[in-house]
Amino acid sequence: MNAQTELGRVRSRTLMGIRGLPVDVEAQLLPGLPKFTIVGLPEAAVRESRDRIRGAMLASGIEFPQRAIVVNLAPADLPKQGGRFDLPIAIAILLAMHQLDPVTCQSFEFIGELSLSGQIRPVEGALPTAMSLIKPQTAKESQQSVLKKLIVPAANAVEAGLCQSCAIYPVTSLTELVAGLAGTTELVPLHVDEPVPGSSGNVTLPDLSTVKGQHTARRALEIACAGCHNLLMVGPPGTGKSLLASVAAGILPEMSLEEAVQTASIQSISHQGFDVSRWRQRPVRSPHHTVSGVALVGGGSKPKPGEISLAHNGVLFLDELAEFPRSVLDVLREPLEAGHVTISRASRSAQFPADFQLIAAMNPCPCGYAGDLQTQCRCSMEQIRRYTSRLSGPLLDRIDLQVGVPRVAVTELKKSANGESSQQVRQRVCAAYDVQLQRQKCVNGKLTGDALEHYAHLNAPATHQLMRATEKYNLSLRAHYRLMRVARTIADLSGSVAVRGEHVLEALSYRQQIK
């Protein structure tokens, strides 16, 4: 045999954000002293695969070639990271040694990390990798017949199997895989039924019925959840702001299949990993006010999703909003409009979805009691001004509903009967959600420009009220449209086809809380 014929080639995937990009793994055996070289922009974990592959092959009873080995990961300008290339490199070497049939291997793609014992360890990003097989990521792929068979570590099988249009073949060891590819045993695809939402490990959420009083805040929370609007609650300590925010997850509708796959894909590449018991449950993230801007939006030398991306299709709850550094809060402005965030580095950039609903809570002043009827505020006007100025005007402009949450007297708490439960409110929210999806294929909070003008259906009094409010309160064009969105949601909750004047007035009452 000559060096020209001793070439093995298989296919794998690398991740760029949550996109799985195709990688050709080529292994060539050359005459000369034993040497193992990997080219194609491999990072440290990929370069270290040489020792893992050698150890795994020897532990599996497979002869390791005493030749010069050159492995090429193409395209060469695409960064490769992680241990996911261990398995495809090992298979490419075996093909170069003529130990396997290339025709059989061409119908599969491979990901997996090898241990020194020959076992196949799990890797991150199994679900987005599987999804990329059925959704071509490049123009070249879209012109070719895209492979739909994926070899994955057994520990990743359930996660990858959530991609119903891709055949997933779980393997536990290199020995098992080689035997299956050689025809000694049969590789059996795993069929994964979609998990029943909340069937295992479901976290018990606080119920809205536990919130006494606070009728305005409860109504604002219902509107926010029904139309995916951003909400800010302002009030003294201990008035139920955090409790109201915590019940939002129990009011929001269940995620669609497409939303669930997007959210699971982000979790899959994050440090927390994917938890199948949380399938279709909207995520709720509540970072501490000491969080950095990078932790909030994502980043690092190897870009990872931040809190706003982990809250994709769910809720980002920021408690003590005014305690966050202003520079950190201002990084939210673009994602709140665009629904995604792009992390750029010198060698690469990655885009992560960040279509979240912001729910925030804060005190009205540093001591927390400005405007409270029972406790005297100790702050000067200048201290209050500096405190509230931590929230920039452009950020506040992006918050649709801003409501006060005053203290409820103890005597009123004892008199108040339990309010509506989360389930009762959720029924109305889901009904309004369904109306919006049928009418415009998205929730009201995502309507923009001409689409909003078309679907708002404002009658003449509502149009007059809206224009008058815009002029009187000097609202920006963004605030004007957000006011229209909230009014549309209020109309949907009331079952009204048209937006009426009272809907606009109620929407207007939830603005201009922060001076």
Angle, CA 221 vertex, CA 331 and CA 461 arms, to 5°: 100
Amino acid at 453: E
Confidence of residue 214 (pLDDT cuts 50, 70, 90): confident
Q: What's residue 346's pLDDT?
A: 66
- Answer yes or no: do 359 and 479 share one domain: no
Task: Determine the Cα–Cα distance for residues 456 and 467; give it in Å rounded to an integer.
Answer: 14
Q: What's residue 272's pLDDT?
A: 85
pLDDT, average across residues 199-218: 77
Amino acid at 87: L
Select the highest-mean-pLDDT range: 157-171, 275-289, 424-438: 424-438
- Answer yes or no: do 375 and 259 share one domain: yes
- Answer yes or no: do 458 and 438 share one domain: no
Confidence of residue 1 (pLDDT cuts 50, 70, 90): very low
User: Is pLDDT of 199 > 80?
Assistant: no
* Domain hosting residue 99, numbered range: 7-182
Q: What's residue 201's pLDDT?
A: 46
Residue 1 located in a structural domain: no
- Answer yes or no: do 296 and 357 share one domain: yes
pLDDT, average across residues 270-284: 88
Residue 168 located in a structural domain: yes
Residue 505 located in a structural domain: yes
Number of domains, the chain: 3
Confidence of residue 345 (pLDDT cuts 50, 70, 90): confident
- Answer yes or no: do 298 and 400 share one domain: yes
- Answer yes or no: do 290 and 176 share one domain: no
- Answer yes or no: do 89 and 107 share one domain: yes
User: Is pLDDT of 2 > 60?
Assistant: no
Task: Determine the Cα–Cα distance for residues 303 and 84; give it in Å rounded to an integer.
Answer: 17
User: Is pLDDT of 181 > 90?
Assistant: yes
User: Is pLDDT of 411 > 80?
Assistant: no
Helix (H, G, I), strand (E, B) or coil at 70: strand
Residue 202 located in a structural domain: no
Q: Final residue of a domain: which of 399, 422, 442? A: 442
Confidence of residue 249 (pLDDT cuts 50, 70, 90): confident
Q: Final residue of a domain: which of 394, 427, 442? A: 442
pLDDT tens profile 463-508:
999 999 999 989 889 999 999 999 999 999 999 999 999 999 999 9
Which range, of 81-90, 348-357, 423-432, averages the lowest pLDDT?
348-357
Residue 472 located in a structural domain: yes
User: Is pLDDT of 110 > 50?
Assistant: yes
Q: What's residue 141's pLDDT?
A: 57
- Answer yes or no: do 335 and 454 share one domain: no
Residue 195 located in a structural domain: no
Q: Which two tokens stand for residue 329?
A: 């809060």
Residue showing tokens 């959840």: 225
User: Is pLDDT of 266 > 80?
Assistant: yes
Q: Is 43 in contact with 79 (CB distance < 8 Å)?
A: yes
User: Is pLDDT of 415 > 90?
Assistant: no
Q: Is 420 in contact with 208 (CB distance < 8 Å)?
A: yes
Averaged confidence pLDDT in the chain: 90
User: Is pLDDT of 213 > 90?
Assistant: no
User: Is pLDDT of 410 > 90?
Assistant: no
- Answer yes or no: do 397 and 438 share one domain: yes
- Answer yes or no: do 438 and 456 share one domain: no
- Answer yes or no: do 345 and 250 share one domain: yes
Q: Distances from the Cα of 69 to the Cαs of 77, 105, 466, in angstroms? A: 21, 20, 72
pLDDT, average across residues 403-418: 77
Q: What's residue 104's pLDDT?
A: 94
Q: Which two tokens stand for residue 261?
A: 């796959």
Q: Final residue of a domain: which of 419, 442, 465? A: 442
Q: What's residue 449's pLDDT?
A: 83
Confidence of residue 288 (pLDDT cuts 50, 70, 90): very high
Residue 335 located in a structural domain: yes
Task: Determine the Cα–Cα distance for residues 254 and 197; give it in Å rounded to an integer.
Answer: 9
pLDDT tens profile 5-32:
589 999 999 998 899 999 999 999 998 8
Q: Is 144 in contact with 185 (CB distance < 8 Å)?
A: no
- Answer yes or no: do 319 and 402 share one domain: yes
As a whole-number percent, the residues of the chain with pLDDT over 70 amount to: 92
Confidence of residue 165 (pLDDT cuts 50, 70, 90): confident
> Domain with 293 in it: what CATH number?
3.40.50.300
Residues 302-330, buried b or exposed e (16+ Cβ, 10 A)? ebbbbbbbbbbbbbbbbbbbbebeeebbe
> Domain with 454 in it: what CATH number?
1.10.8
Residue 153 located in a structural domain: yes
